[in-house]
Every structure is written in C-alpha cells, then in structure tokens.
Amino acid sequence: MAQNDEFIREVDEEYRRDQLAKVWERYNGIIIAVVVLVVAGVGGWRFWQHRQQSLAQEAAVRYEEALRLSSEDKGQEAQGALETVVKEDAGTGYAMLARFRLAAELGKQNAENGASAYDALANDSAMPALWKDLARLRAAWLRLDTAEPADLRKSIEPLAAPANAWRHSARELLGLSGLKAGDMDYAGRWFDQIAADRETPSALRQRLAVYTALVAGGPVQVTQ
C-alpha cells in the first residue's frame, strides 16, 4: 500500500511539472514582462520616495535660512529667501509656512500690506480650512487699529466658536476691539468666555486680569 502511495505521489508530481512546463512555454513572455514591470514599479517608487525626501530636506534648509535672516532683522534678505521657498517648493508644507512668514514680514513694515498677504492665503482654495482661519485671524490683528469694528467682528466672530482651534486668540481680539470702541459690554462678553474656557492658555489668563480691570473701569472719557 505504501509503495502504491509513493507511486501515486511521483506520478502526481511529474504531472504537475509537466503542466508547469507547458504554462511556462506558453506564457513565458507575459510572465517575464510582469516580473519586469513589478521590479521597475518598485524601483520607481523607491526613487520617488528618495527624491521627495531630498526635496523636503532642501526646502527645510532654505526655510531655516530665511528664519535665520528674519531673526537677525535682515528684513529684505529674509523676504527674498521666503519668496524663493514659495517659488521653488510650491505644493509643499514649507511653501505654505513661507507664505505665512512672508506675510508676517510684510506686516512688520506695513500693517495693511501684511494683512493683504494674509487675505490672499485666506482666499486660496487650495489652503486647508484650518489655515484659512489662521490667515483671517492674523489679518484682523494687523487691522485692529484701522478696521471698522463691525467689519472686523463679522470676520472673526465665527472663529471664536467653542470648537475652533483659534478660538482663544479670536476671543481676545474681539474683546480688544470692544475696548478700543468703548463698548464694554461687548468686550466683557468675550473676556467672560475666555475666563470660562478651561483650555485657555495661561499666558492669556494673565492678560485677562488686565482686560477685566479695564472693562470694570468703563470707557475712558476724553476731556479737553
């Protein structure tokens, strides 16, 4: 019985080898082509990954250099370096960061120019919603002293919602707009929300003590 089983296994293996040989003979061109494509695809993917990593590293170096120039108060050189990052690294995270930083650099020289640069970011359809909100907030900060309170509040109030990532800064800005306009009720409402939010940053809570004291003091009366 054992010999019969062994014979059957040998016949079965021989049959399989024969079938494989026939398959190879018939489809060897296709099999080779598929193997070549797979190897080429893997190689291409590896090359693309390596290239992307190299580009990201180059962008990081350019961005860090721009930040260094900015920290050394070399405004014009910093702007030029940031513009290079925006141009050469378009579509990367560093390009977006450079655009925000460039708007901040412009704002140091002229508030409205910086605000306009932030407006461009807020209106960019390719920009994620989170960063659009940040751009609107930054623009409003630069316009705090010049914009009509109603216009500023219309833009920023949606950002003060409880679920918004930028709500703390938005509420502070809205409260300050109330103080500047002498509208203590409006200012107090936003400062109360800052106080009630358990996630309010500690630095903002420290400033809040000053803000609430100003609200309690009432509008400043200007006398001749």
Query: pLDDT tens digits for 85-141?
Result: 777 766 667 788 888 888 988 898 899 999 999 999 999 998 899 999 999 999 999
Tell me if residue 115 falls in helix, strand or coil: helix
Tell me if residue 182 falls in helix, strand or coil: coil
Name 104's Cβ contacts closer than 8 Å, sequence gap at least 6.
114, 138
Domain-by-domain residue ranges, the chain?
A: 64-143, 148-224
Question: Mind listing the pLDDT tens digit for each residue in 134-187?
Answer: 999 999 999 999 999 999 999 999 999 999 999 999 999 999 999 999 999 999
pTM attached to this predicted model: 0.69
Q: Do residues 194 and 175 lie in contact, with contact meaning Cβ atoms separated by under 8 Å?
A: yes
C-beta atoms surrounding 46 within 10 Å: 10
User: 104: which 2 tokens?
Assistant: 């901040």
